[in-house]
Amino acid sequence: MDLGLNGKTALVTGASRGIGLAVTEALANEGVRVVGVARTITPELEKAAAATVSADLSTTEGATAAVEAALTEVGGLDILINNVGAGDPDKLTLGGFLQIPDAQWRTMFDLNLFGVVTTTRAALPSLIERRGAIVNVSSINARMPAGGPIGYSEAKSALTSFGKRIAEEFGPQGVRVNTVSPGPVGTGIWRGAGHLGAQLAAANGVDQEQFLAALPGQFGITVGRIAEPEEVAALITFLASTQAGSITGADYVIDGGIIKTL
């Protein structure tokens, strides 16, 4: 299938690893000139992207500067992939509502919502001019507020709502906006040392390998495994393409069957 992406330009945030890197690679393979944005630029990102920008997207200044640098590099944007999210594991406290400080709430919203808002605002004039596409990466935690670290689920719920809002406002101007909501994905968040998977394993008194092996059963994953970054990237790439020209304002769950409701 020809996705009609050859020669397009894109900005991918949180692009240095995981889903963001997989999206960068998938778009580049379709002939897209990708600007990858991350706080830390990895060798893998430098290899896949046409250009890279180091920026902290949790700040207004960082998000605005990242878009300006991308526009300078490629001359305009056809696609925006707002993938940045989650947070630093060393700043994440697991526990109930009364144990979580206000700082965690602010950190979660600054990165997972406000960084996306600022990035999108800065990129929209170019996207409107080119009748482009936006894909926001949310989470199934937006639909399961009790299932994730406090602050994360709430920020992702707001992100999903934000995507619906701008899809309605800018659709008549030719900009399509969709959301992709993954369940657990085999990235460093779950498999990396010291990240969320390791923290949850320790909280449950098991080693990380045991925890990950039991995770599909505990989460009720119908397909019996967690997703891989390349699978999520394939969905995002399709939604950014001309083949998805009639899809906007949608939220696509890719969770292996965790969510059982209609």
Average pLDDT of the chain to the nearest whole number: 92
Locate the domains of the chain by residue range.
Answer: 9-183+228-252, 186-226
Mean pLDDT of 125-143: 97
pLDDT of residue 88: 61
What span, in angstroms and rounded, lies between the C-alpha atoms of 187 and 87? 13
φ, ψ at 257 (rounded to 5°): 100, 20
Confidence at residue 91, expressed as pLDDT on a 0 to 100 scale: 65
Q: In the numeric block, which tokens belong to residue 142?
A: 């937006």
Fold classification of 9-183+228-252 (topology level): Rossmann fold (3.40.50)
Is the pLDDT reported for residue 150 higher than 90? no
**From 152, 162, 219, 238, active-site residue:** 152
Model-wide pTM > 0.85: yes
Cα radius of gyration (the chain): 18
Supply the pLDDT for residue 148. 67
* pLDDT tens per residue across span 204-218: 778 788 888 888 998
For residue 75, CA distances in Å to 33, 52, 139, 222 come to: 11, 14, 31, 44
User: Is position 252 annotated as part of the catalytic site?
Assistant: no
Whether 194 shows a pLDDT value over 80: the answer reads no
Of 20-34, 167-181, 214-228, 245-259, the range with the lowest mean pLDDT is: 214-228
CA distance 1 to 64: 35
